[in-house]
Structure 1
Amino acid sequence: MALFKPKFITFDCYGTLINFDMAGAAAARFASRVSPEKMTAFTTDFAYYRRDEVLGAFKLYPQVVGDALYRTCNKWGVECTEQDCAAIMTACASWGPHADVPAGLAKVATEFPLVLLTNSTDALIKHHVPRLGVPIHMTITAEEVGAYKPQMKGFEYMLSRLNCAPDEILHVSSSLRYDLMTAFDLGITHTVFVNRGHDPANPAYGYTEIQDIGGLPAVVGL
């Protein structure tokens, strides 16, 4: 893997690069409605419902979050308002990168064009890209594609825009279920799993595992 020189390094953004703390935002917002001992289960359900929401017909990400939050609250029997959804999206726009990201990206950005394939909107991602601290060659949002990962359409669209074959890129993500399983199914043979604890590891998918973006330069021989 260290000898492979991709034409592009492509990334998932939220969770992998940006510290996308939906659980923390939901916990803060619902602290008076969900007990501390139940909060982890509540926020885990919120994550599961968000993933379920992106598998259906396309809608903008604030609607995905809102619908997932309403479903979560319905399951738990707690009140959910439009203000709750708006507060979580406001928090989302404020988040920055994980501490390891700027330096790790800076090392690979000198040698490879960096591309983002993100389950975001065109407006929302504009808050986050400048905080990465490096030039981004191309940013592709779910809004542009009209579909969210883990659906295949985003990867197919990205490969078409980059004029690349699946084995010519290196895709980096902290999520097996949103990214790396789909990449595997599409024949993207060079992948990196950033193990931030979002998904359990499964080496059967043939990725290289790193603990943070600081480990990425070594993967491409830098």
Structure 2
Amino acid sequence: MAIFKPKYITFDTYGTLINFDMAGAAERCFAQRVEPARMAAFTTDFARYRMDEVLGAWKPYYDVVSNALQRTCKKWGVAWDKADSDFIYTDCATWGPHPDVPAGLAKTAEEFPLVLLTNSMDNLITHHVPRLGAPVHMVITAEEVGAYKPQMKGFEYMLDKLNCGPEDILHVSSSLRYDLMTAHDLGIKNKVWVNRGHDFANPAFGYTEIKDIGGLPAVVGL
């Protein structure tokens, strides 16, 4: 089988490259208010409300987090305070990459320009890019686009900014719901799913599956 050589390799950032520990932050924040046996369900609802929050008009990511947290607390009958939203959002800036990321990304960057399409703020992503361990050609945030994934606007904006078509890129993500379903709908045929265990497999969306970024160089023949 011929190995695809894209003009650009584009990436989701949080969850795919950066260890997205929103559940851990919520656990630490609510440890005295949500009993351990219920915490996983609480943080799952928090994730689902965050997804719902990004489907409308753009707003700062702090508001996405805070609104989702308030809705989760209301559902669970748990007290919320602005300090809770502050704690979790502040924690975001401390996250680092998954252990497999720096080496796999650096090897891939030797031949291909790397582009980040991220549901982030301009001032938040600056904490994370230097920790990736590889040169990044371009960073496009939801703040710049004015929309969050899984909306199509970010992908369309990225293709326009790169002056290329869907056939020219390889998109890499650990999330089907935020990235790969939308990429599929936009005709991006070359996709990689990094199976980090937070989404269910669905081969109908036409991706190559790898377990971590260490497997990416082989996908593009390195």
Task: Give your verdict on TM over 0.5.
Answer: yes
What is the TM-score with the length of structure 1 in the denominator? 0.99
1:110 and 2:76 aligned: no
Report deviation, 1:117: 0.1
Matched, 1:184 2:181: no
Query: Aligned partners of 2:43 and 2:29: how far apart in 1?
Result: 11
SS of alignment partner, residue 167 of structure 1: helix
**Pairing 1:37-186 to 2, within 5 Å after superposition:** 37-186=37-186
Q: Verify the 8 A CA contact 1:2 1:221 in the aligned structure 2.
A: no
List alignment gaps of at least 5 residues for structure 2.
none
Preserved CA contact (<8 Å) 1:97 1:132: yes
CA distance in 2, matches of 1:2, 1:180: 22
1:76 counterpart letter in structure 2: W
Deviation per CA, 1:23-50: give whole Å up to 9, x if none.
0000110010000000000000000000
Give the superposition deviation at 1:62. Answer: 0.6
Residue of structure 1 equivalent to 2:34: 34
> For 1:94-153, what per-residue CA distance to the aligned partner results, in whole angstroms no more than 9, with x for missing partners?
000000000000110000000000000000000000000111000000000000000000
Instruction: Using the TM superposition, give the Cα deviation of residue 182 of structure 1 relative to its aligned residue in structure 2, in angstroms.
Output: 0.1
> For residue 101 of structure 1, what is the amino acid of its counterpart?
V
1:121 partner amino acid: M
Distance 1:219 1:84, change over 3 A: same
TM-score, normalisation: structure 2: 0.99
Over 3 Å counting, the alpha-carbon distance change for 1:100 and 1:213 in structure 2 is same
Number of residue pairs matched?
222
Runs of 4+ with >2 A deviation: none
Structure 1 runs not aligned, ≥5 long: none
